Amino acid sequence: MSKRAPCKDCGKDTEPVNKHGEPLFKQWDSYVVRDEVWAEAGMVGWDSGYLCTSCLSKRLGRELIMGRDYLARSVGVNADGLVMEYVPDYLKHHSVKGS
């Protein structure tokens, strides 16, 4: 099965699904960082591809910090799906529908 969202650096699928196409949320590496952090990592634009958290940290040469770097990140899974932690600025980000 092809990878849905492969990391540009290591190839890890950041949004894997099972053989039936159902999301394997516990294995997802899902986040939104500030646009300037994405650019600092050498990624240009919203459609420039995917980086797993580890590879993004390597490109930046540091650990990522909630609020300073992350606008949202996955923190777990419940019956409804992926559980995200986010900062208020996330709701203003262009990736959020209606913003």
Global pTM reads 0.86
Residues 83/76, Cβ–Cβ less than 8 Å = yes
Separation CA 31–CA 28 (nearest Å): 9
Q: Taking 80 as the threshold, does the pLDDT of residue 66 lie above it? A: yes
Q: Taking 90 as the threshold, does the pLDDT of residue 96 lie above it? A: no
Task: Give the tens place of pLDDT for each residue, 68-92.
Answer: 999 999 999 999 999 999 898 877 7
CB atoms within 10 A of CB 45: 9
